[in-house]
């Protein structure tokens, strides 16, 4: 058996890892001892004094050079690394137990996140459950090496009949791992139907974005829908119609769902019909910024607006430019918000903090010559936990606001 690599850290760089942070960037590494090869491998991490602080997987091509799977926590503790496969099996079981404690699945919800990477101490691994189908997203080379173990454990879970394994192009670029989306267990003959707080969706787990659906906004969709009875609603970047469907089901008078993706809008139309909401919800395939500019010029307004764009900042160096894009978008969106109306505006860019996002909204309000009142700040649902030591896992900011004078 090949000896694990030894990853030696630079002086003064070990503290985050003693307290449990899972990511080691290349800038913190002094040198790597051992036969690295082209793909890297299992590694022992040592501080500048030679103390072992944990084990993980070293990837010479990864933006994150090493992801720690097992932490020693203290030099007072004897540390004997366990086989990674055993650790993954144990933590998968713990993640499933957490979801059961949170009430997933339930009578009206069978689509949710089963494993949320670092939030469940499984860095680089996401598992979403859509009814009786599990979609495994492999986001690191370490998890790719454990692919068969993960599949075997997931397909044994109660109620799972089919398993899909996926790796996105983004993950492929960051980790130098192959792109894939493959049915590895069971049968699928097309989209499946899931429930989210009673709203039904058709989900294409083999052809949809990422793991087929976005469950992180579930509770925010429900919260905002409660504010929509009798109102006119504009759902921007609607994807498959989530916010708009919940608003319509809650009693909105009229809903317009806008997305630039033709496939997303086709799915949204299917979901509108599936829920019997054709008389309330309209869908429009167009660019959101152009839609807002045209609406402003025509004097159209809505009493409730949702702004939920895709990630604008792919990395820390893109954060400043992302905030400029958010400012332009939110300035336009607020310009078509009726006086006394409410808007929910979101960022799923982990490199844009709550504080930065709120400052951006101040700037957007200034551009529109009005103040911005913040009513609440929401985040991702409970099935998307993040580690206290790695707040980067808290990536979603959703701000409920209104316009002032």
Helices (runs of H) and strands (runs of E) counted in the chain: 11, 20
Q: Which two tokens stand for residue 33?
A: 């001892």
Q: Which of 55, 47, 56, 8 is nearest to 29 (CA)?
A: 8
Specify the CATH architecture of the domain 85-193.
2-Layer Sandwich (3.30)
Q: Residues 6 or more apart from 12 whose CB is under 8 A from it?
A: 48
* pLDDT score, position 212: 61
Residue 46 scores a pLDDT above 90? yes
- The rounded distance, in Å, linking the Cα atoms of 214 and 203 is 10
For the chain, the structural domain boundaries read 5-81, 85-193, 216-403
The pTM for the full model equals 0.94
Same fold flag, 85-193 and 216-403 = no
Reported CATH class of domain 5-81: mainly beta
Q: Residues 6 or more apart from 359 whose CB is under 8 A from it?
A: none
Q: Which residues are catalytic?
A: 348
- The rounded distance, in Å, linking the Cα atoms of 247 and 228 is 6
Q: Which of 178, 170, 193 is nearest to 348 (CA)?
A: 170
Question: Average pLDDT for residues 118-141, to the nearest whole number?
Answer: 96
Instruction: Name the pLDDT band for 209 (thresholds 50, 70, 90).
Output: low
Instruction: Name the pLDDT band for 50 (thresholds 50, 70, 90).
Output: very high
Residues 216-403: name the CATH superfamily.
Answer: Vaccinia Virus protein VP39 (3.40.50.150)
Averaged pLDDT of the chain: 94
């Amino acid at each position: 058996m090949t000896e694990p690599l030894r990853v030696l850290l630079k002086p003064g760089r070990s503290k985050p890892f003693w307290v449990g942070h899972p990511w080691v960037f290349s800038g913190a590494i002094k040198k790597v001892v051992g036969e690295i090869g082209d793909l890297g491998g299992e590694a022992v991490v040592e501080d500048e004094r030679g103390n072992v602080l944990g084990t993980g997987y070293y990837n010479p091509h990864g933006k994150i050079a090493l992801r720690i799977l097992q932490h020693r926590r203290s030099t007072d503790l004897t540390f004997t690394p366990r086989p990674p496969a055993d650790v993954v099996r144990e933590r998968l079981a713990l993640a499933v137990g957490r979801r059961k404690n949170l009430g997933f699945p339930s009578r009206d919800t069978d689509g949710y996140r089963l494993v949320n990477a670092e939030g469940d101490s499984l860095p680089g691994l996401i598992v979403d459950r859509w009814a009786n189908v599990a979609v495994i997203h492999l986001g690191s080379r370490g998890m790719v090496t454990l692919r068969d173990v993960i599949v075997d454990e997931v397909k044994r879970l109660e109620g799972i009949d089919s398993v899909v394994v996926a790796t996105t192009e983004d993950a492929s670029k960051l980790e130098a791992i192959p792109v894939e989306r493959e049915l590895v267990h069971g049968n699928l003959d097309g989209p499946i139907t899931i429930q989210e707080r009673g709203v039904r969706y058709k989900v294409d787990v083999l052809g949809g974005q990422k793991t087929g659906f976005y469950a992180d906004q579930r509770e925010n969709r429900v919260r905002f829908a409660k504010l929509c009875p009798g109102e006119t609603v504009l759902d921007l970047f609607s994807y498959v119609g989530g916010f708009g469907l919940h608003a319509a089901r809650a009693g909105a008078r009229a809903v317009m769902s806008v997305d630039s993706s033709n496939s997303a809008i086709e799915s949204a139309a299917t979901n509108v019909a599936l829920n019997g909401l054709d008389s309330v919800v309209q869908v429009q395939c167009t660019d959101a910024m152009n839609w807002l500019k045209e609406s402003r010029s025509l004097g159209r307004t809505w009493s409730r607006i949702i702004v939920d764009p895709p990630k604008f900042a792919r990395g820390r160096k893109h954060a400043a430019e992302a905030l400029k894009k958010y400012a332009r978008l939110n300035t336009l969106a607020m310009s078509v918000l009726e006086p006394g109306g409410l808007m929910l505006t979101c960022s799923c860019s982990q490199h844009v903090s709550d504080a930065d996002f709120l400052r951006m909204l101040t700037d957007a309000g200034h551009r529109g010559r009005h103040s911005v009142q913040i009513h609440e700040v929401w985040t991702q649902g409970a099935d998307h936990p993040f580690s206290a030591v790695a707040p980067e896992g808290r990536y979603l900011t959703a701000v409920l606001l209104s316009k002032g004078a």
